[in-house]
Amino acid sequence: MRDAVRTIARRKAVAVAARGVVGTLLAADTVIDLDGELLGKPSDGADATRMLVRLSGRAHAVHTGVALLHTSASRTLGVDGVATSTVHFRALAAAEIAAYVATGEPFGKSGSYAIQGGAARFMTRLDGDLDNVVGLPLGLVRLLAATLASRLRAG
């Protein structure tokens, strides 16, 4: 799963560069990994409910692939990496899942939740970087930016 999300991020950056964009590009993608199964964005309310029922009372991994790609007239250089955090959910009652899905917040969110929103009350523990779960793992971005800058200076 980690390799897949890294590849997706890299492909996003390359696709933008292929349009003739010059400069440094940042691309990212996040997936929810429940025991090796990818939980993407829900297709409807029933799908969101199904995912939240599966996450209830369990831990799952959040993987974010990040790619930095520098393009210029003379060369293209890129670096990429993956940040992983483990989110632990408490057991959720059917009524609270239904109420949360009814807010509309799960739609457009991998795993059907936004930890920075109403789903914050579902989390009992976080192992790893909250930035990774909320959006973009800034620690990883800083590390990749420093690595890319070093490689660019090295020529």
CA distance 36 to 10: 21
Strands (E) in the chain, as ranges, are 23-34, 37-39, 59-71, 76-89, 123-127
- List, by residue number, the catalytic residues: 29
24 token code pair: 């440094």
Residues in the chain: 155
Look-up of token digits 């029933």: 46
C-alpha separations of 102 from 52, 98, 105, 106, 108 in Å: 13, 6, 8, 9, 14
Asked whether 40 and 31 are in contact (CB, 8 A), the reply is yes
